[in-house]
Amino acid sequence: MNPGQTAVVIIAGYLGLLLVLGLLSNRFFRGTATDYFLASRGIGSFLLLMSLFGTTMTAFALVGSTGESFKRGIGVYGQMASWSGIIHSACFFLVGIKLWSLGKRHGYVTQIQFFRDRFESDKLGLLLFPVLVGLVVPYLLIGVIGAGTVVSGITRGAFPALFPATGGAVPYALGSGVICLVVLLYVFFGGVRGTAWANAFQTIVFIVLGLVTFLLIAENLGGVRAATQAVIEQNPSRLKRQVAPADEAVYAERLAAAAAEGDVAAVKPAKPVGISQLEFFTYLFIPLSVGMFPHIFQHWLTAKTARSFRLAVVAHPLLIMLVWVPCVLVGVWATQVLGPDTPANQVLPRMVARMTSPVLGGLLTAGILAAIMSSLDSQFLCVGSIFTNDIVGHYLGHDRLSDRSRLYTGRIFVVVIVLVTYLISLNNKLPVFPLGVWTFTGFASLFPLVFAALYWKRATKAGAYAAVLTTAVTWFWLFRDAEWGRNREYHFHGVMPVVVTVLATSVALIIVSLATRPPKAETLSRFFAR
Amino acid sequence: MRKLVYAAIILLALAHQDFWWWNDIHPLVFGFIPVGLAYQALVSILAALLWWAATRYCWPRGVDDDGFATGE
């Protein structure tokens, strides 16, 4: 059995285990739509932490962080991870607990139901629906693209006779298709309880295996100290955030040496890349997206009590650190192993394939897939839930759909969404990191809406419309200006596009709200203290 | 206490910018983590501590009883 085949066997075993778990959770299924979408609001502290963490950590966290630190250095941790530690917990604490509370009181299942009630507008849902779903689909793509890339990367040379066109690797389309199918099966049968169980299991798997990967790669590079020392000598700019003239000099010197060696040069040096202070700071807006992710909203509503949030609020920054620090270090160490032209998405799979044994390589790949699938499942389910409860249930069915019909409709939509996402992913293999940043930018832009809905009585229906429309227009305009995400260095006058979209949305919300009639006292009494 | 906890969180967000080791690799913490990365890891640890304090001293009133946020 060659190393690629060993990886395939291990990955298949892992996927089988997940399916068993999904089917087991189905034994606790109560057969109602509320149980399918919200686990009867009975998820405790530990499962809630694992669900929230597993859902927020996608291919973006493992594949994306390693690839981005390979390309741009350690600054990526401060940009994304430590900001997320502060801001995600803020969202759980300031937004999540209140939404859970209101959701329980008024029986909400989706975000759109909450916004419709709070802003006294039935039609608001029709505006929010395409915006939310339009932003979730690229987020789903991140997972599917990550899964297909990882599987094909690790199985290179596995079946040369069967897949000669890919050098023996399991083709991207087959790898991502199988992952989609497994997630679909356990979501279909287990609903949100199935995803919570699977997320808990998968989160533990990817944390443990991520740490093992880190240690094995470090050992292969002569130990952690030697690995970092080599980067200091060859690519020092990757270990800080600013490019100094000395770094340029080291780069020129190494480049000349590599050119002299010609084809025998082991690895060409990486061009120094810095991060500006302003860009670093403005990344703070990106994690605000968590406050508006529809799949996170759905997980919030599954909580048993408000106190169930405590563990998630406190432990989330620590778990982020546990996952991101090793990934960022592996990314910068990889500059000594892989050529600078290596695609960002391929950095982690190639390091795993090169630096570990076939068995461990297979296990570690399973860990990466675990991180990806633990987000995909929640996203598939939430889109199914939005279609079922908001579109079919409310707008088409006028809230007269029976519980059983809602359950079946939800399952049908989950199948459709998985299929559509998979088909789109076949022709759009964009790098994970920029795709993620643009998706997060869209959701973060809507954060002022949810915050105002919870904390500002004066926020009105017209203000809400203005906010959603402003988000849609500014996001689309900037995305187009950034060549549809292809311009990775795109900034708007030196700041992240998210700053522009968040500020524009906030201004539109505030001005239009103040200029229009306040919400009815009766409405406010349902959402605010008397 | 409530205001103190929120003030500390804002202070942490400002300190996140790392005005001290922006362009430094050394000292290497534990001999292999560049100081800029170690500092940000410390920010993550402090975030956990401060959010723990928030759950203890700034818990929203009313959310526990009947599932109704009183919108403080």
Distance from the Cα of B29 to chain A's closest Cα (Å) equals 10
Which residue in chain A is spatially nearest to B13 when comparing CA positions?
A: A86
pLDDT at res. A84? 95
- Residue A54, token pair as written in the block: 């597993």
Q: Does A286 touch chain B (CB under 8 A)?
A: no
- Residue A358, token pair as written in the block: 């076939």
- Residue B62, token pair as written in the block: 């009313």
Kindly indicate the confidence band of residue B70, based on its pLDDT and cuts at 50, 70 and 90. very low
Q: Which long-range contacts (CB under 8 A, 24 or more apart) does A491-497 make?
A: A491/A279, A494/A276, A494/A278, A494/A279, A495/A278, A495/A279, A495/A282, A496/A279, A496/A282, A496/A283, A496/A285, A496/A286, A496/A441, A497/A441
CA dist A100 and A83 (Å) reads 24
Out of B9, B55, B71, closest to residue A529 by CB: B71
On whether residue B22 sits in a domain, the answer given is: yes
Question: Region A370-396: what's the mean pLDDT?
Answer: 85
Distance from the Cα of A282 to chain B's closest Cα (Å) equals 10
Name all domains of chain A by residue range, CATH numbers in brackets. 3-432 (1.20.1730.10)
B45 to A69, A83, A93, B37: CA distances (angstroms): 21, 12, 17, 13
Element housing B29 (H / E): strand B28-29
- Whether residues A74 and B67 touch (CB distance < 8 A) is answered with no
Q: Give the residue among A281, A283, A251, A329 at the shortest CA–CA distance from A74.
A: A329
User: Largest alpha-carbon pair distance within chain A?
Assistant: 78
- Whether residues A224 and B32 touch (CB distance < 8 A) is answered with yes
Contacts of A530 (CB under 8 A, 6+ apart): none
Angle at A134 between CA A285 and CA A508, to 5 degrees: 50
pLDDT at res. A189? 84
Highest averaged pLDDT of the listed ranges A191-200, A357-366, A473-482: A473-482
Q: Does B5 touch chain A (CB under 8 A)?
A: no
On whether residue B67 sits in a domain, the answer given is: no
- pTM of the predicted structure, to 2 decimals: 0.90
- Residue A11, token pair as written in the block: 């990955």
- Residue A238, token pair as written in the block: 């990757």
Token pair 């892992």 in the structure block, residue: A14
Q: Collect all residues of chain B within an 8 Å Cβ-Cβ radius of residue A312.
A: none
Which residues numbered 42-61 in A keep a CB inside 8 Å of some CB on B? Answer: none
Q: Does B11 touch chain A (CB under 8 A)?
A: no
pLDDT at res. A488? 76
Q: Does B15 touch chain A (CB under 8 A)?
A: no
Token pair 């600054």 in the structure block, residue: A75
On whether residue B31 sits in a domain, the answer given is: yes
The residues pairing with A258 across neighbouring beta strands, listed in sequence order, are: none
Interval A480-513: pLDDT, tens: 999 887 787 788 888 889 999 999 999 999 999 9
Which residue in chain B is spatially nearest to A76 when comparing CA positions?
A: B37
pLDDT at res. A307? 93
Look up residue B28 and give its DSSP letter.
Answer: E
The alpha carbon dihedral of A521, A526, A529, B1 has a sign of negative
Q: Which residue has the higher pLDDT, A518 or A234?
A: A518
- Residue A185, token pair as written in the block: 């099966």
CA dist A270 and B24 (Å) reads 19
pLDDT at res. A306? 94
Interval A88-107: pLDDT, tens: 999 999 999 999 999 999 99
User: Within 13 Å and on the Cβ side, how many CA atoms surround A203?
Assistant: 24
Mean pLDDT lowest among A27-36, A408-417, B55-64? A27-36
Q: Collect all residues of chain A within an 8 Å Cβ-Cβ radius of residue B36.
A: 74-75, 78, 239-241
Is the pLDDT at B67 greater than 60? The verdict is no
User: Within 13 Å and on the Cβ side, how many CA atoms surround A205?
Assistant: 25
Q: Collect all residues of chain B within an 8 Å Cβ-Cβ radius of residue A309.
A: 55
CA dist A293 and A100 (Å) reads 14
Interval A104-161: pLDDT, tens: 999 998 999 999 999 999 999 999 999 998 888 888 888 888 888 888 888 888 899 9
DSSP A190-225: HHHHHHHHHHHHHHHHHHHHHHHHHHHHHHHTTSHH
Is the pLDDT at B65 greater than 70? The verdict is no
CA dist A305 and A41 (Å) reads 8
On whether residue B69 sits in a domain, the answer given is: no
Angle at A242 between CA A272 and CA B7, to 5 degrees: 145
On whether residue B68 sits in a domain, the answer given is: no
Interval A179-225: pLDDT, tens: 999 988 888 888 888 888 888 888 888 888 888 889 999 999 999 99
DSSP B32-71: TEEHHHHHHHHHHHHHHHHHHHHHHH-PPTTTTTSS----
Per residue in A447-483, is it b (16+ CB within 10 Å) or e — as a string? Answer: bbbbbbbbebeebbbbbbbbbbebbbebbeebbeebe
Domain total of chain B: 1
- Residue A220, token pair as written in the block: 């292969």
Q: Which residue has the higher pLDDT, B32 or A340?
A: B32
Is the pLDDT at B71 greater than 50? The verdict is no
On whether residue B64 sits in a domain, the answer given is: no
Interval A280-309: pLDDT, tens: 998 899 999 999 999 999 999 999 999 999
pLDDT at res. B72? 38
Q: Give the residue among A378, A327, A337 at the shortest CA–CA distance from A143.
A: A378
Burial zone of A174 (CB within 10 Å; 0-12 exposed, 13-18 middle, 19+ buried):
middle
- Whether residues B17 and A244 touch (CB distance < 8 A) is answered with no
pLDDT at res. A428? 66
Highest averaged pLDDT of the listed ranges A32-36, A154-158, A228-232: A228-232
Can you give the residue range of the structural domain that contains B39? 2-57
Q: Collect all residues of chain B within an 8 Å Cβ-Cβ radius of residue A86.
A: 9, 12-13, 16, 43, 47
Out of B13, B45, B67, closest to residue A284 by CB: B13
On whether residue B11 sits in a domain, the answer given is: yes
Which residue in chain B is spatially nearest to A319 when comparing CA positions?
A: B44
Which residues numbered 47-66 in B keep a CB inside 8 Å of some CB on A? Answer: 47-48, 51-52, 54-55, 58, 60, 62-64, 66
CA dist A66 and A76 (Å) reads 9
Kindly indicate the confidence band of residue A350, based on its pLDDT and cuts at 50, 70 and 90. confident
Measured in whole angstroms, the distance separating CA A468 from the mean position of its chain's CA atoms is: 22
Q: Collect all residues of chain B within an 8 Å Cβ-Cβ radius of residue A93.
A: 51, 54-55, 58
pLDDT at res. A268? 67
Kindly indicate the confidence band of residue B42, based on its pLDDT and cuts at 50, 70 and 90. very high
